Chain A
Amino acid sequence: MARDLSHWLREGLGATPFCPGCGHGILLGAVCRALDLAGVERERLLVVSGIGCAAWIPSPHLRADTLHTLHGRALAFATGAKLYRPDRVTLVVSGDGDLASIGGNHLIHAARRDLDVTVVCANNSIYGMTGGQVAATTPRGARTATTPAGNPHRPFDLCRLVAAAGASYVARYAVVQPDRVARAVARGIATPGFAFVEVVSPCPTQYGRRNDEADPARALAALRERLIGREEAEALPAGERAGRIVVGEFVA
């Protein structure tokens, strides 16, 4: 049954800015559902984002106070706002490049402080807005605008990074699991302390077209095939886990 989420959307919105096949629209819907699930009152909500495609998920779409900050600095801005007004439900929604690369140090320190915010990290494995350059999350071997022969480096496991830094709630799901994403974000909001939900989202336009996943349906199907549950993955030998995306709750 379709749920009415329009009460979370700002009046006057035009068409979505996202490319055809982008997962960020699904994530916007999941975030709205999470806000309902967590029983967040709109008047108490503050949503902070950085710069990039994912930073546009809350700004301007969400009907709440929104702070669209500098590239990488969403958590720094959110730290000040949350410390000054602890009564605000503070949600950070941004991308992998923003939160984990240019903003990686702020991510580590916000987790270390156990700042009571919930971070939704839309991970599309690429710098989308700037044209598809390699990211700290790009799989090894993947072709990008700046790795035409394939990415020579390992990607970050963001959940392990944040868990090691001391986060109170850590989970990873993909936009093909919108209900799990919504429940994880809601659980993150309900958890006191630092909550981090990584949401794997396809980018057919910038990632897919260089890696045989340009067709949105194919990108979603390929993503679904790579998912593996945490318990199932732990039972597999390391070699068979390669290339899979482990989903589930890692700290709860």
Chain B
Amino acid sequence: MSVPVTTAPVPFEPGPRYLSGNEAAADAAVAAGCDFYAGYPITPSSEIMERIAARFAELGRVFVQMEDEIASIGAVIGAVWAGAKGMTATSGPGFSLMMEALGYAAFTETPLVIVDVQRAGPCTGQATRPGAGDVQQARWGSHGDYPVIALSPWSVQEMFDLTVRAFELAERYRVPVILLAEEAVGHLRERVDVPAEVAVAGRDRDPSGPPFGTDEPQGVPPMPCFGDGADLLVTGSTHDPWGWRRTEDPEVHERLVTRLHRKVWDRRPEICRTEGYLLDDARFALVAYGFTARSALAAVRRLRAEGVPVGLLRLQTLWPFPAEEVAALARRVAWIGVPEMNLGQVQGEVRKEARCPVDGLHQVNGEVIDPRRIAAWVKEAVQWPGI
């Protein structure tokens, strides 16, 4: 399947803006053609819902505040099958409540976007403080094996750009896409250049083919919606290509679960994006993402000024994990450090791919990581000067 991708003018004034990350994500969703939003208030993401409510009221799009977060994502799934481009936004506790429905969206191949503005957890944790503790939850939080795409913005500009991209990826691969932001970026205010137009993916609504199966082991089927004449059978139970429940057929189940995994995993070269900083002559490297990548880059510059040959690989895509990029980096450097606002959730992924030593700097106090702390940690870890 190929979805049509066109450009559409943004329905508000383009140009430079001074926005918070949450405001930028809301505007980007509006620009990307999102026309259904359901949500529930939660700190530190509520500004997204408030701004969407205001924009949608002007544009005649459909907004509803639901009774909780699983109702919110459920409403989004229902609307998406009715033809909408849907989004919801939340933070840790609400993201937890959405997990069962996230699995439903993945298993029924429902394109949608979830913005998770991460706070410091677990549980209610520190509602107004940043964390990055939902990285593994985004991948494995719902039961069973299922695919997701997760993107990690490091700036307000990327809250805009990656929200637009999230909608495109969701439609292209019929998969839930999670924007894994952190409170630090959600509430950060900085300049954003709002483009005059953005890429908008359409939907292949051909009702003649099977909507839940393809001949290819990694294919993406067309997605007719309610009212398109397909007499759709949408179910979260194991189903054949036409949607009939086949809950006791081992072959059907394995083919479906495997195709859903491969349709994302096999497309890593198209999906995964990383950026390298000062890596050409680096003997050591940091791997970082989200707000922490800003601190890591500042630390790298500080270390370079002191003569330490260190660089940074920034991960803009977290899931599917950019395995090749990390493995290639590990072949060129003697050590990789992974600073993050959790207890090593990406460090473990890096270790799976890297043949060199991989250490983690873990900070879970609800504060962003200070570049000076990263720099001092690197010097101690690589024993510089001295090797």
Contacts and interface: CB of A to CB of B under 8 A. Distances in A.
Interface in A174-219: none
A180 to B, nearest CB: 29
B253 to A, nearest CB: 16
Given A79-B66, A80-B64, A81-B79, A65 B230 contact: yes
Contacts, number: 123
Q: Summarize A's interface: helix, strand, loop or mixed.
A: mixed
Contact of A70 (B36, B101, B226): B101
A76 B66 contact: yes
A80 B233 contact: no
A64 B227 CA distance: 9
Interface stretch (B81-89, B300-308, B371-379): B81-89
A85 B101 contact: no
B82 A85 contact: yes
Interface stretch (B45-53, B68-76, B329-337, B361-369): B68-76
A82 B83 CA distance: 11
The contact size tier of chain A is 20 to 34
B227 A43 contact: yes
Interface of B: 35-36, 38, 62, 64, 66-68, 70-72, 74-84, 86, 100-101, 104, 226-227, 229-237, 243-245
B227 A85 contact: yes
Given A10-B233, A79-B38, 19 more contacts: A44-B227, A65-B234, A69-B74, A69-B77, A70-B104, A73-B70, A76-B66, A76-B70, A77-B77, A78-B78, A79-B71, A80-B77, A80-B82, A83-B62, A84-B79, A85-B227, A88-B82, A88-B226, A108-B67
A101 interface: no
Contact of B226 (A46, A83, A108, A109): A46
Contact of A67 (B38, B76, B81, B229): B81
Nearest to A77: B78
A33 interface: no
Interface string A56-91: 000110011111111001001111111111011000
Contact of A80 (B68, B78, B237): B78
A65 to B, nearest CB: 4
A59 to B, nearest CB: 6
B208 to A, nearest CB: 16
Nearest to A11: B231
A111 to B, nearest CB: 12
Name the residue in A10, A12, A69, A77 with the highest tally of chain B Cβ atoms < 10 Å from its Cβ.
A77
A106 interface: yes
Contacts of A83: 36, 62, 64, 75, 79
A105 B40 CA distance: 14
A73 B76 CA distance: 12
A48 interface: yes
B227 A88 contact: yes
Contacts of A79: 38, 64, 66, 71, 74-75, 78
Contacts of B67: 105-106, 108-109
A60 B71 contact: no
Contacts of A87: 227
B277 to A, nearest CB: 42
Nearest to B86: A80
Interface in A10-59: 10, 12, 43-44, 46, 48, 59
B12 to A, nearest CB: 22
Contacts of A65: 226-227, 230-232, 234
A175 to B, nearest CB: 24
Contacts of B100: 70
A77 B231 contact: no
B234 A81 contact: no
7 contacts: A67-B78, A67-B234, A68-B235, A73-B101, A77-B74, A80-B64, A83-B64
Contacts of A88: 82, 226-227
B88 to A, nearest CB: 10
Contacts of B77: 69, 77, 80
Given A81-B226, A84-B36, A88-B82, A76 B71 contact: yes
